[in-house]
Chain A
Amino acid sequence: MSQDQKASLPLYDHLPPFLADDPAPLTLSERRELLDRYYPDYRSEGKTTLRVGPNKGQIIPEEVASILETRSRLLHPVKVEKPAVPDMDVDLLIIGGGGAGITAALFARETGASVLVATKLRIGDSNTVMAEGGIQVALGDDDSPAQHFKDAFRGGHFTGDPHLLSVLVKEGPEVISWLVRKGVLFDRDVHGGLALRKGGGTTRPRLISAKDYTGLELVRVLKEDLLNSGVPLLEFSPAVELLEGPDGSCAGAVLLDVDSGKLRWVKAKSVLLATGGAGRLHIGGFATSNHFGATGDGLALAYRMGAPLVHMESFQYHPTGVIYPSEMAGMLITEAVRGAGAKLYNKSGKRFVNELETRDVVAAAIIRECSEGRGVKTPAGHYGVYLDLSSIDREMGEGTVARRFPNILKLMSKHEVDCSTQPILVYPTLHYQNGGISSDVQGHSGVAYLSVAGETSGGLHGKNRLMGNSLLEVLVFGHRVGVNASREALARNPFSWSEVGFGHAARFEKALEAEFHGVDRPEGPLLFPDYRRKPSGENV
């Protein structure tokens, strides 16, 4: 951003005086009304009714329907023939190389199963690597797995699956100790214990972190171990279709080598989908904090095969995504800054919501301010509110922002904003897929020998997720489902390649044709968002 452009922005030239006065607390009914009127999940615009598949009749965002009700890439543009023999034959195929996929692979290989990991970009490219804030794990003297359970269940508006949650809270400490033994450097307290911080919506300090590089730190370590493990890895190889075996079970997948365009047919006794989230669908036109590959591919693959989805209407819009500088739009400013005392102000410098309300309430309040004319306009024509971190240094001592949030400080300074003294303009950003493929505590989807783990799965968090529970989820369920899916693969009756096909894709296609009457449907899964400018000059 050039200096003359910056000078024209009210953000730095005409800052209002920031008034510290606390906003009035919300009553239960005011909170409900705020959510109903402004939180994207509860608004009717941009929604559609699914017409095909296991969740037929349910109302979900149009963008999600647009990837679910899609045609198979094995049938379009031309039908592909199954080769005489598979290219590879393994016990367990793990699709996805983020936190859940890597964890699953490391534990799966210990069962003696032959494992293959396929991922769309590089191993580790995922939402996990971007996670800043931390991992929830109940370690405090005044804390317990049951307390963790209660906070998560309440935070999910009582819609989370209690059985999944009880596994999460009970197995959390064990998987964290696995990371510590691998040398993951979590912040320590003065006694050498893991330092615990408080996150939004929790009653106890329970967040462990590695400064604001928590996801990066654990991916660096786990990725190195996976690369050294001998598990075969196929990078730049997204799955374009699952394969069907005896009795409608899953029996492998077809991978696309994105460089050569060649398809690779993998026969597998068990398939674990760990494909991550869907922020790159830009639901409702929101910017996203998600990585480039977050296009919900696993949802499309599993749905076509008949796996039901749960809470698929529910997404988390993180309240504080950067909206200016606009080239950073969508990038997350962790909730931990509000925990540390950062404040939100509207155009006139007034606070308008308690910054420590749950994420959905804070997001709804920001959307309300901006849609009622109390937002700050950016040069690109968007609106946002001020997030001011300077109070953190004032209240907790000079240098606190630099010490606790070095990543945010570094990233903002690359764009000429010193966020320890200057406010950041923020607006909610599409952050997390709350729902997903329905599963039980072993990760079973509705399709035999097809398991799921991580963000692509649904049910655990219900309709709202608390900070720090998703990193714990990828670790706990990556471990658990990786082991379980391997064991089931090893115990599975053998079947031949001649019993394997993609009849499910043809059946889904038929259902699409019957419902959409010749209206062209896109191909799925999406694989990559396309931000290229069209030759006409129009944005894609």
Chain B
Amino acid sequence: MFQYEKPENARMIKVGINGKEWMVPEGLTMVQAMWYTGHEVIHGIGCLGGVCGACAAVYRMPGDFHLHNALACQTLVKEEMVFSLIPSFPSQRANYQIEAILDPKEELFKIYPESATCRNCNACTEVCPQGIDVRDAVWRANFGDFKGVAEGTMSCVMCGLCVSRCIAEMAPHEIALYARRAYGSQELKFPDNLKHRLEKIESGEYDDELARLLSLSPETLKAECEVK
């Protein structure tokens, strides 16, 4: 089945999974390499499409002191890579209701006071598997530029790897979520076209036409809908 098949003539390479060595064919993702070696993966697997953030992983390469991070469903194993999944990194999430907040910029420092303690180390940006400039987003949030946060963090998959590295111990992905929601719900104007359509629906403008369609015989309904 498609999920980890071995391409023709694939070379076998040595990898370390959770501290144990295995031989796997080149061309597999980390998750596929775990399946290939018989691991059952339940925690650390979600969409398998790189958007759900369930499969955060850390890895090292030989002769390189750097600790690398990745999404395990999207990252190919390499010769002598050693890796482990960290599927659920604990992080603090504020309990708030966006609709009830009066001054979102002030509120940020109440619900996430630690956001102001960023020490500019940039580790969050370096760790982000989505290539987001996380440090920049945190500072924009602090300065109230929620639009800038929204534009810079739209691809965040909430994997929490930034939390794992933050020396100020904040949760940048949660702060960014708050800033995006505040921007969308409070700074952006409620869309006119949606507002107008809601008013018309409320006034019953479409009821007769929908009721008429539902009253048609199957043949008549088909004939009417066939016309583009």
A93 within 8 A of partner (CB): no
- Among the listed stretches B49-57, B61-69, B113-121, which one makes contact with chain A, having 4 or more residues with CB under 8 Å of it? B49-57
A154 within 8 A of partner (CB): yes
B82 within 8 A of partner (CB): no
Contact across chains for A227 and B47 when beta carbons are under 8 A apart:
no
Point out the residue from A139, A192, A532 that lies within 8 Å of B39, measured CB to CB.
Answer: A532
Contact across chains for B5 and A410 when beta carbons are under 8 A apart:
no
Q: How far is the CB of A438 from chain B (nearest CB, A)?
A: 18
Chain B residues near A236 (CB, 8 Å)? 42-43
Contact across chains for A180 and B54 when beta carbons are under 8 A apart:
no
Contact across chains for B222 and A158 when beta carbons are under 8 A apart:
yes
A37 within 8 A of partner (CB): no
CA–CA, A325 to B27, complex, Å? 9
B11, closest chain A residue (CB): A2
Q: How far is the CB of A174 from chain B (nearest CB, A)?
A: 7
Q: Is the interface of A mostly helix, strand, loop or mixed?
A: loop
Contact across chains for A183 and B182 when beta carbons are under 8 A apart:
yes
B42, closest chain A residue (CB): A258
A181 with B46, Cβ < 8 A, contacts A146-B213, A170-B201, A220-B177 known: no
Point out the residue from A170, A194, A407 that lies within 8 Å of B191, measured CB to CB.
Answer: A194
CA–CA, A326 to B158, complex, Å? 26
Chain B residues near A411 (CB, 8 Å)? 49-50, 74
Tally inter-chain residue pairs, CB-CB below 8 A. Answer: 234
Q: Which A202-254 residues have a C-beta within 8 angstroms of B?
A: 203, 210-211, 213, 215-217, 220-221, 224-225, 227-228, 236
CA–CA, A485 to B194, complex, Å? 28
B26 within 8 A of partner (CB): yes
Contact across chains for B206 and A146 when beta carbons are under 8 A apart:
yes
Chain B residues near A176 (CB, 8 Å)? 194
Q: Is the interface of B mostly helix, strand, loop or mixed?
A: loop
Q: How far is the CB of A395 from chain B (nearest CB, A)?
A: 24
Point out the residue from A149, A193, A331, A533 that lies within 8 Å of B213, measured CB to CB.
Answer: A149
B203 within 8 A of partner (CB): no
Chain A residues near B228 (CB, 8 Å)? 154, 203
Q: Which A166-213 residues have a C-beta within 8 angstroms of B?
A: 166, 169-170, 173-174, 176-177, 180-186, 188-189, 191-194, 196, 203, 210-211, 213
Chain A residues near B58 (CB, 8 Å)? none
Point out the residue from A211, A217, A326 that lies within 8 Å of B2, measured CB to CB.
Answer: A326
Q: Which B166-186 residues have a C-beta within 8 angstroms of A?
A: 177, 180-186
Contact across chains for B95 and A228 when beta carbons are under 8 A apart:
yes
A382, closest chain B residue (CB): B2
Q: How far is the CB of B175 from chain A (nearest CB, A)?
A: 12
Contact across chains for A329 and B2 when beta carbons are under 8 A apart:
yes
The 9 nearest A-B residue pairs measured at CB? A183-B181, A183-B185, A183-B184, A193-B193, A379-B7, A531-B3, A329-B2, A125-B46, A287-B2
Apart from A183-B186, A203-B228, A406-B155, what are 15 other A-B pairs with CB-CB below 8 Å?
A5-B27, A144-B209, A149-B225, A158-B226, A162-B214, A177-B198, A185-B183, A186-B191, A236-B43, A285-B1, A291-B47, A330-B2, A378-B7, A533-B4, A540-B1
Q: Which residues of B approach A to under 8 Å, CB–CB?
A: 1-11, 26-29, 32, 35-40, 42-43, 45-52, 54, 74-76, 93, 95-99, 130-131, 150, 154-158, 177, 180-186, 188-194, 197-198, 201, 206, 209-210, 213-214, 218, 221-222, 224-226, 228
Can you name 14 A-B residue pairings with CB atoms under 8 Å? Answer: A122-B46, A145-B201, A146-B206, A149-B210, A182-B98, A185-B180, A192-B188, A210-B154, A213-B154, A216-B51, A228-B96, A291-B52, A327-B28, A331-B50
